[in-house]
Amino acid sequence: MSVAELKERHMAAAETVNSLKERLKQKRLLLLDTDVARYARSQGQTRVSFGLTDLVCCRTLQGHTGKVYSMDWTPEKNRIVSASQDGRLIVWNALTSQKTHAIKLPCAWVMTCAFSPSGQSVACGGLDSMCSIFNLNSQTDKDGNLPVSRVLSGHKGYVSSCQYVPDEDTHLITASGDQTCVLWDITTGLRTSVFGGEFQSGHTADVLSVSINGSNSRMFISGSCDSTARLWDTRVASRAVRTFHGHEGDVNTVKFFPDGHRFGSGSDDGTCRLFDIRTGHQLQEYNQQHDDNEAPHVTSIAFSTSGRLLFAGYTNGDCYVWDTLLAEVVLNLGKLQNSHDSRISCLGLSADGSALCTGSWDSNLKIWAFGGHRRVH
């Protein structure tokens, strides 16, 4: 078989795939008789309403000197780790708003950070294509810097996102610009499995985020520049369980819904979407119409503990609180007092769901929570 012939057949196959995809899309549209919002309205649901003091900025974490790119909460205590362009990871006590650790990174271009489930160590990754683990209990060197306790190297592109596998301090999943996700064994520093890459069912562009299913930690979602999100089973690295189409831009962020059956995604097309992992269907699109044609990109999302609220950060500094049922914006944190001056780059909900933390390019992090006086009945 000659090269030309092979090429021809490849072209033909690619065309078939595309037409099949198109048919699939059509079929889905046909099957999609309603979305969440329409159904909820027909059921008489009313939107969540916010009082003046229900969500206010109650702490400002100042200390970074560069854009904040990523943050993560500890699962048990009220601590936060944040990564900034100033080349530092800072571990905060969210209650006192004080720093407990300021870790100077060997590579300043950090894009992501994560707290381990035990709260003993933090991980970060960035343009150096490595994921570095710092044990917060280890001794600082003579300059007061915390030494790297483990380097996970093997990615061929930047590390865009990392998350610890819940309840396991030894496993971590990273997403990378080399179109793959990797499950790491931290104790050995080796790759347990690689998702995507040379395999055809992997992402075809940079992977930007991962989210591990909270109720079934074997499943995780990845969002990519190929404008798809993919569901993976860590036991089956060879192919994605499912691919979710719909977005018309890079999928910047994915986050599992608290019940683990759905996940949300945010994209450069300015929309957030809710997908069901069992059916593969898109359940709802969250899109605020903008007057100008250039919609701000979604940078980061988080769900409230019940799943009723979706917090989404945008590149224009807005931070919408969506009612997930009615697909309406119920609050815009970007327009509240003491809001950020610049793009919201990351946000996350504390483990107990009582506080939201947002990180911004204005180099601050803010903690939003109930700000009124609780009335005891």
Partner 1 sequence: MSLEVAIVVEDAVEYSFAMEYHGPPITRELPRAVPINVDRIPVASVVSPLPFPDSLSLPVVQPISAADIIGKKLIKDLKLSSSSAELLTVSPTSVIAFESQNNEVSEGSYSKELGLGTETSVSPSSVINASVESETENRSSNDICALSGELSSDFECCNRDDVLSGVNERGYSSISHDEFVGGVGSSGVLESSDSFEKSMEFSGSLRKSRLSGAYKETLDFNESNRTDWESNESVLSVDYLSSRVSSRKFGDGNQDSGGGDVRRAPVVTFCDIESDDENVDDDYSRSEPEVVRMKKEPAAKVRKGACYRCLKGNRFTEKEVCMVCDAKYCNNCVLRAMGSMPEGRKCVTCIGYPISELKRASLGKCSRMLKRLLNDLEVKQIMKAEKFCEVNQLPPEYISVNGRPLYHDELVMLQSCSNPPKKLKPGNYWYDKVSGLWGKVGQKPLQIITPHLNVGGPVKANASNGNTQVYINGREITKVELRMLKLAGVQCAGNPHFWVNEDGSYQEEGQKNTKGFIWGKAGTKLLCAVLSLPVPSKSSDLCGEQISSSISRSMPDYLEQRVIQKLLLIGYSGSGTSTIFKQARILYKDIPFSEDEREHITLVIQSHVYNYIGILLEGRERFEEESLHELRQHQSCDGPDGTTPAGDVDGNGEETPYSIGPRLKAFSDWLLKIMASGTLEAIFPAACREYAPLVEELCSSVAFKATYKRRHELESLPSISSYFLEQAVEILKPDYKPSDLDILYAEHVTSSNGLACVDFSFPEPVYDGDDSGDLHDSLLRYQLIRLQAKGFGENCKWLEMLEDVRVVIFCVSLSDYDQFALDGDGNRVNKMMLSKKFFENMVTHPTFDQMEFLLLLNKLDSFEEKIEQVPLTKCEWFDDFHPVISRNRSNSNNSNHPTLGQLGFHYVAVKFKRLFAALTGRKLYASAVKALDPTSVDTALKYAREVLSWDEERPNVSLSEYSIYSTEASSFSH
Q: In this chain, which of 111, 212, 240, 283 binds partner 1, going by CB under 8 A?
A: 111
Q: Pick left, alpha or beta for residue 296 (phi over 0 → left; psi -120 to 50 → alpha; otherwise beta).
A: beta
Query: What contacts 352, CB < 8 A, 6 or more positions away?
Result: 305
18 binds partner 1 (CB under 8 A): no
Binding mask 240-279 for partner 1 (x = CB under 8 A): ----------x-----------------------------
Q: In this chain, which of 143, 291, 292, 294 binds partner 1, going by CB under 8 A?
A: 143
72 binds partner 1 (CB under 8 A): no
- State the sign of the Cα–Cα–Cα–Cα dihedral 262, 352, 123, 297: positive
Neighbours of 241 (CB within 10 A): 15
Judged by CB under 8 A, the stretch of 59-67, 186-194, 233-241, 316-324 that binds partner 1 is 59-67
What stretch of H or E contains 30?
Answer: helix 3-31
Judged by CB under 8 A, the stretch of 45-53, 149-157, 286-294, 321-329 that binds partner 1 is 149-157
Judged by CB under 8 A, the stretch of 152-160, 185-193, 276-284, 327-335 that binds partner 1 is 152-160
Tell me the C-alpha distance between 114 and 152, whole Å: 14
Are the beta carbons of 91 and 99 closer than 8 angstroms? yes
Give Cα 17 to chain centroid, integer Å: 29
Q: In this chain, which of 56, 102, 329, 369 binds partner 1, going by CB under 8 A?
A: 102
Least spacing, CB of residue 96 vs partner 1, in Å: 6
Indicate the residue among 155 and 247 with the shorter CB distance to partner 1. Answer: 155
92 binds partner 1 (CB under 8 A): yes
Place of tokens 């499950």: 183
Least spacing, CB of residue 148 vs partner 1, in Å: 13
Binding mask 308-337 for partner 1 (x = CB under 8 A): ------------------------------
Judged by CB under 8 A, the stretch of 23-31, 97-105, 165-173, 270-278 that binds partner 1 is 97-105
DSSP 375: P
H helices, E strands: number in the chain: 2, 28
Amino acid identity at 290: H
| Of residues 148, 131, 243, 225, the one with CA closest to residue 183 | 131
Least spacing, CB of residue 248 vs partner 1, in Å: 14
Q: How many residues bind partner 1 (CB under 8 A)?
A: 41
- State the sign of the Cα–Cα–Cα–Cα dihedral 12, 13, 18, 19: positive
Query: What contacts 6, CB < 8 A, 6 or more positions away?
Result: none
Neighbours of 136 (CB within 10 A): 19
Judged by CB under 8 A, the stretch of 36-44, 154-162, 180-188, 210-218 that binds partner 1 is 154-162
DSSP assignment string, 333-358? GGGSTT--SS-EEEEEE-TTSSEEEE
Judged by CB under 8 A, the stretch of 25-33, 92-100, 112-120, 277-285 that binds partner 1 is 92-100
56 binds partner 1 (CB under 8 A): no
341 binds partner 1 (CB under 8 A): yes
Q: In this chain, which of 72, 178, 269, 318 binds partner 1, going by CB under 8 A?
A: 178
Tell me the C-alpha distance between 43 and 70, whole Å: 38
| Of residues 335, 296, 331, the one with CA closest to residue 311 | 331
Least spacing, CB of residue 39 vs partner 1, in Å: 36
> Which residues lie near partner 1 (CB under 8 A)?
7, 59-63, 65, 69, 85-86, 92-93, 96-102, 104, 107, 109, 111, 127-129, 143-144, 155-158, 160, 177-178, 205-206, 225, 250, 341, 362
